[in-house]
Structure 1
Amino acid sequence: MSQEAFAKRLGVTGASISKIESGQRKLTGQMILLICREFNINETWLRYGEGEMYKSMFPSEISQLLSNYNLDELDTKIIGEYLLLDPSQRKVIKEYITKVTSYDSRPVNTPMNMNLLRDGTVTGETLHCAENSGNMERS
């Protein structure tokens, strides 16, 4: 992230961030709190370099999903970083994924073959998604 983008997220100028980074201006307690709130940074880590860099950001429902799907540290980081993006940045990611997966080109009710299960086993079951319902039916 550029200084300008960082500054914009904090509502300050790029020059202010530049002065803090170069030591010309002291990092205030208010700025520390703003950085922590905006970027989900652990205040103790930012002030003293102790503990985890990021605060725990997952409500219990998301934590349960992480556990249920046996997601590893990288999966968790990807989800966490995505949640920190602003809407315009998320849009870019969504557009990229749409292009890569040809998600929009698959007609409604086209079967999605779900061959690889969480535990690594393979199945020949096909799932169909009913239009606008989001319900999955096995065939």
Structure 2
Amino acid sequence: MIGERIQIVRKDSGLSQEAFAKRLSVTRNVVAKYENGLVEPPELFINHFCMKFGISANWLQTGEGDMYTSMTEDDLFAEKMGEILSSENDMIKEIITKASELDEDYLKMLHQLIDGMLEKQTKK
């Protein structure tokens, strides 16, 4: 049953129904209805769910094959851009917009700056 497999993914991710729902931009009630088999998730939800958690749509719908798909670098980038676009963080959107206007030399400097900042942040 698809609801049981949704629950497996949620638990495997270590998320409560509330946190899981938030990551999928739905309510906890919607997640509960899907997990309990009260409502069949629409195709749009299935596609979003599979992309967000790297789950095979075939496995989700049939239980056959591998649960997880291997995401390419482009897939990961597309997922991150989707998160940014759907967020309310206008600063990151502005930074990305401005960065896209930089020439190659300035992009290299920005890349080095960001790498250094991330390294310091992870040492905290």
Q: What's the TM-score once normalised by structure 2's chain length?
A: 0.46
* Higher strand fraction (1 or 2): 1
Q: Which has the higher contact order (CA 8 A, sep 6+)?
A: 2
Q: Which structure has the highest helix share of the two?
A: 2
| Greater gyration radius | 1
With normalisation by structure 1, the TM-score equals: 0.41
